[in-house]
Amino acid sequence: LVGALVAGIDAGRGYTDWPLMGGEVLPSESFVLVPFWSNFFENPALVQFNHRLLGYIVLGFATYVWLQGHKSALIAVRKWFTFGFAALCIQMVIGIVTVMNSAPLTLASLHQLWAIILICVLLRGLFEVLYPAEQSVRG
């Protein structure tokens, strides 16, 4: 949903440096619009910053979830959690490459398509947790 805000106002076309944005951590133009709240939806600087930040937070949380999933005795859970974490890392890389190339159609579409693949892989992992398949003790 936060990605849709970026795509919706073409906020991925500016601030093409990474990890900084225009040489700053938080661009100085982030809160120039009035009223204040409109910056969160209409200011390309803040909209892109928020999407990047949420991506980093999700990556941190996903690392924790992946490590937890790795403790599972179920092979399928371990496998799908690893796929999920790998898919998330790939999504991060595609997002970064997209923004560094000023969001061309091909890369932006790949980033959007991969988000769908990512959700599917995560749902598969969740399914393995909720409805575990029978497994032999011999593996």
Chain positions contacting ligand HEM, by CB under 6 A: 3-4, 6-7, 10, 12, 18, 51-52, 55, 58, 88, 91-92, 95-96, 98-99, 103, 108, 111-112, 115
Give least dist CB 70 to ligand HEM, A: 20
77 or 103: whose CB is closer to ligand HEM?
A: 103
CA atoms within 13 A on the CB side of 1: 2
16 or 72: whose CB is closer to ligand HEM?
A: 16
Six-digit token pair at 34? Answer: 């009035």
3 or 76: whose CB is closer to ligand HEM?
A: 3
Give least dist CB 90 to ligand HEM, A: 10
- Spatial distance between the Cα atoms of 101 and 118, rounded to a whole number of angstroms: 22
Six-digit token pair at 78? Answer: 């371990």
Give least dist CB 133 to ligand HEM, A: 28
CB of 20 within 8 A of CB of 96? no
Element (DSSP H or E) covering residue 84: helix 75-100
